[in-house]
A and B are shown apart, each in its own frame.
Chain A
Amino acid sequence: MGVSMKSNKLLLIIFLLLNSFLVSQEYTLIKNGNLLTVANGKMLATDLLIKDGKIYKIGKNLSSPAGTKIIDASDYFVMPGIIDAHSHMAIEDGVNEATNPITSEVKIEDAIEHDDISLYRALAGGVTTIHTMHGSANVIGGQCETLKLRYGKNPAELIFQNAPRTIKFALGENPIRVHGRGNNIHPRSRMGIEQIIRQAFLDAKQYKKEWEDFKNNQTLIQPKKDLRLEALVDVLDGEMIIHCHAYRSDEIIMLLNVLKEFDIKKVIFQHVLEGYKVAKELAEFGAYASSFADWWSYKFEVYYAIAHNPAILTNYGVITSINSDSPNLVRYLNLEAAKSMRYGNLNEDEALRLITINPAIQLGIDKSVGSLEVGKDADIAIFNRHPLSSFSRCEMTLIDGKIYFDRKNDPNDMRLNVNPNLPVGFDSFSNTLNDFFYNFCMDEFD
């Protein structure tokens, strides 16, 4: 009796050990695909072995242990999961805290809608990571969040672990319209915007000094906590990276000058549609650029935008990405990247970088995603044709080696939450929903 109890226990221990062994060692082999590695060029008819959510091996005719999940990618194109550096998905009703020209204290992290169907639709376009941002209503907006599109998981599990903190700034027409024209307060012009940013940084500097003095016992009175200024101190210290919505070349130069004044080294310009006019200055500063492919003329500050913007910026040595700012456009970022070949003659590799490693660099996550390299996260998109062809179609998307989208097994209705009280088609639109119907940046204001 006692013996059998013991052996039962032993069996249980063995079973548990085996179980943990199996759980921790999960293999997936993507067989015989044409790899667009981004890091090391194109590798035709090559295998990619995934172990525990990471890229484990890349090579021809790789062997894999028994029980490996096999994905036949013959004739297909395998690329790193697409990264969108400018999105407002998963925060549909919380894009702008438009109550003050400065709201650096608010966090997208607190408002993530993990059940936004847009996330799944983006997965179906090969997208694995997005930077979901505060809107452009305020000169200094809220803190943004980098997400992996682990659709089906809860909000905390969507967050990209160890991604650097980021904050939204916005120049030009939007903050002027909301605050200057809307509320009759500063800024009413691009002149005012500069002074708001300068004053904010001066206040943050002062705040930082007050706390340092207190901590160094130079003063006995504890300064009042100010979450708004605290966030800006993090910006001054380089711990939170600025993603600045900007269009015109003059305002781009303006921000560069203010940043130099406060010794802030890192900035990513968002939209930056006139970046092509000051590509030299952007390159000299070491600023990054995240642009649209070809959108223009939807407002005056983009009337002089050109589709060659990403190409010119790239040729000047600016790390450039192409973003969507839209739950629609995000679905075909591969085609948007291809436009840099049509307008400005970038080569295939340069075009692919615009939606993979470059946005990864901009978001500070290039050590784990953005290319097919051993050791990186197995975030992978598989297309039936070369993804830069307009005839291409995403077939499968993996995050951490797990399949999150499979065209062959798509169940049609992918909502996570269904309200049974709503009549069928309640939410349907009488209009076609394309891009600037849907300019999320200024949702609730247009």
Chain B
Amino acid sequence: MIKKIFIFFLSSFVSLLAQNYALVHGEVYTVTNGIIKQGTVLISDGKIIDVGKNISIPDDYEKIDCTNLKIYPGLIDAGSAIGLVEIGSLPETIDNLELGDFNPNVQTLTAINPNSVLIPVNRAGGVTTVLSEPQGSLFTGQSSLINLFGFTPEQMAVKKIAGLHLVFPSKGRVSSFDKSALKEREKRFTRQMENLDELWVMAENYNRNYQKAKLNNELHLFKKNFRFDPFISLFEKEVALVITVNRDTDILRAIDWTKNKNINVIFSGVTEGWRVAKQIADAKIPCLVGPILSLPTRPEDRYDRPYTNPKFLYEAGVTIAFRTGESSNVRNLPFHTAKSIAYGLPEDVGLKALTIFPAQIFGVDNLIGSIEKGKIANIVVTDNNILEINSQTKYLFINGKNVSLENRQQELYEKFRKRD
């Protein structure tokens, strides 16, 4: 009994001490409702309880003075390998890639290492949430939208299955190391396109049979195939098909390919989107663009095409979000966006494309992406514009937890800056 009381006392003590925060006197970038000067944000039980001016602060809230500081919703990287790839050159540490053309059943959430050294280093840069995406060929697997804090993958998950991923066939070179002849690439493309269409028919058939069985209350008779199961939530529009596509001709082919398929589609990469921005906008397909800090895809292209790409997409009416495609330097996400702002994207749109737009694209804008009452308390406090390199993160909240900014790089810095 005493033990029980003690535990009760302890747990309530901890919750009193650690769960309720009042961020006061800060400049609050709500993203959805403008900027509040001298604003207050109340955080309790993992959620944003209130935000605004002149809010009374209950006694059991720990006050955090944010005078001269800026308060933002946590940034979202709409395409990352963090937690899946630890050391780029060591296959033993790479878990975002399966063999073969057909892996719709694999899930990145399975392989995320919550204790990756890379996670604390990168979240200190203000990125609280990432789309953890699979790599590979054709159907690469299911991505997960995760917070960069948690002791298990499940604790990290905002949306366990965020998308079903497809790398669209292309005749383009895969990388600078790809010296294959155009003929070879065309062959590869044709084979993959045939493969894709064949698999798609099988997926549609599977879904048709499933829906029929469901309608007739005969699901117990339905012969399940776990590799095709992920397509059901795709056809039921619970998840979207995230298509990695970059070249203009591939983008147009992908738009055409998705027509009449009656599914939700998101494009990822979209490096040459500026060439066909109108067609993407007309098809109403949102785009996860980036990395922005990259090279033009063709030698004849203007030097700043990767930088201006988001602007052209936005002006055409496409909903955009930013992705780094990174594991080690997700922390540079805001600088990718800043670059596209320097080259013409409005700054407020840039900030939205790091927060509320990706939340909307993945259907979690009721949970994250802005500082609004009732949302998950993913919040970053900085001493300068969060998109400026010369800014420092002062506080970071994920799921309402005041997450430490300590990380191994910081530790090594402290250790070696003054050594014997």
Contacts and interface: CB of A to CB of B under 8 A. Distances in A.
Contact of B174 (A388, A414, A430, A438): A430
A427 B341 contact: no
Contacts of B88: 297-299, 436
Contacts of A294: 329, 331-332
Interface stretch (B234-242, B362-370, B383-391): B383-391
B38 interface: no
B343 interface: yes
A307 interface: yes
B298 A342 contact: no
B335 interface: yes
Contacts of A124: 303-304
B184 interface: no
B387 A432 contact: no
Contacts of A276: 412-413, 416-417
A430 to B, nearest CB: 3
A282 to B, nearest CB: 12
A185 to B, nearest CB: 21
Contact of B390 (A120, A296, A307, A341): A341
Given A425-B298, A431-B172, A342 B303 contact: no
B302 to A, nearest CB: 4
B328 A295 contact: yes
A423 interface: yes
Contact of B325 (A327, A432, A438): A432
Interface string A29-48: 00000000000000000000
A307 B250 CA distance: 38
Given A410-B303, A412-B302, A298 B89 contact: yes
A427 B173 contact: yes
Interface string A207-239: 000000000000000000000000000000000
Interface in B202-257: 246-250
Contacts of A430: 170-174, 246-247, 250
Main SS at interface, chain A: loop
A430 B171 CA distance: 7
Contacts of A21: none
A308 B338 CA distance: 22
Given A279-B416, A390-B338, A428-B272, A443 B89 contact: no
Interface in A399-446: 410, 412-415, 418, 423, 425-438, 443-444, 446
B413 A296 contact: no
Contact of B90 (A295, A300, A335, A425): A300
A388 B390 contact: yes
B364 to A, nearest CB: 25
Contact of A312 (B87, B117, B416): B416
A297 B86 contact: yes
Nearest to B178: A429
A117 B246 CA distance: 21
B177 A443 contact: yes
A423 B182 contact: yes
B339 A415 contact: no
Contact of B176 (A121, A307, A428, A437): A437
A332 interface: yes
B255 to A, nearest CB: 16
A437 B89 CA distance: 11
A298 B328 contact: yes
Contacts of B296: 121
A298 B327 CA distance: 9
Nearest to B171: A430
A338 to B, nearest CB: 4
Contacts of B334: 390
Given A299-B90, A339-B389, A391 B338 contact: yes
Contact of A391 (B172, B182, B342, B419): B342
Nearest to A306: B409
Contact of A433 (B117, B176, B387, B389): B176
19 contacts: A124-B303, A277-B416, A308-B417, A312-B416, A338-B390, A385-B342, A389-B390, A390-B388, A413-B300, A415-B300, A423-B182, A425-B298, A426-B182, A427-B299, A428-B272, A431-B175, A432-B291, A444-B177, A446-B177
Given A308-B409, A413-B301, A446-B177, 7 more contacts: A294-B329, A299-B87, A390-B388, A412-B301, A427-B173, A432-B246, A434-B294
